[in-house]
Amino acid sequence: MDTWIWVLIAAGAIVVVAALAYWVWSSRRTTQLKDEFGPEYQRTLEATGSRREAEKELVDRQKRVEQLHLQPLSREQAQHYAVAWNETQAAFVDAPTEAIGRADGLVAEVMEVRGYPMAQFDQRVADISVEHPKLVTNYRSAHMTAVRNRKGEATTEELRRAMVQYRELFDDLLDTAVEARSSGGRERSESR
């Protein structure tokens, strides 16, 4: 055979191997992102309409959060917020409208103290999705209920559900803070 045929065969083999390697890498990355982000992966996929765009957005979120200076709460801060939450939850029985507003504020306050930027809700949700992906859907829902509540449009059942959703994220924010402190400053939860 001529040399140019061997060159073509080698070039074709290199292209096939490179394409296969890219496919394996891409599949692994997709699986990893699905595992890390849970339902948020699918929501982002639906919002962007493209797997490549969704995965780019999720990776960009991770990079952004890595640049934040997230910090654990001190033991005193965690205790203070736990007491404040218990008071808010107890107030729900007599004043659900006010309690939801306070719950929304407490979650935001803990996030801010931990180091999350608080400028825009959409960015806050994107940031929180990195560390708390399984709860971000609940956070969106609870916050939208709080917004509807301020307009007088939320039912008591919706407020009750929002309170539960806020509680799950609130507990996770406090547990992550305690875990980070007890593991020598690591921010990410090992159970994620």
| Sequence-separated (6 or more) residues with CB below 8 Å from residue 80 | none
The number of beta carbons lying within 10 Å of the beta carbon of residue 189 is 14
pLDDT band for position 188 (cuts 50, 70, 90): very low
Assigned token pair, 13: 């083999």
Mean pLDDT highest for which of 2-11, 23-32, 97-106?
97-106
Q: Give me the residue label for tokens 């736990």.
A: 82
What are 38-76's pLDDT values in tens digits? 889 999 999 999 999 999 999 999 999 999 988 888 989
Q: How many angstroms separate the CA atoms of 15 and 12, rounded?
A: 5
Q: How many whole angstroms separate alpha carbon 7 and alpha carbon 188?
A: 49
Tokens in use for 157? 């059942």
CB contact at 8 A, 111 and 173? yes
For range 120-148, the mean pLDDT: 92
Residues, the chain: 192
> Which of these, 150, 69, 138, lies nearest to 107 by C-alpha position?
138
Torsion 30-31-36-41 (CA) sign: positive
- pLDDT at residue 176 in the model: 59
**pLDDT band at residue 165 under the 50/70/90 scheme:** very high
Percent of the chain with pLDDT over 70: 91
Q: pLDDT tens for residues 15-45?
A: 888 888 877 777 788 888 998 898 899 999 9
Percent share of the chain, pLDDT over 90: 57
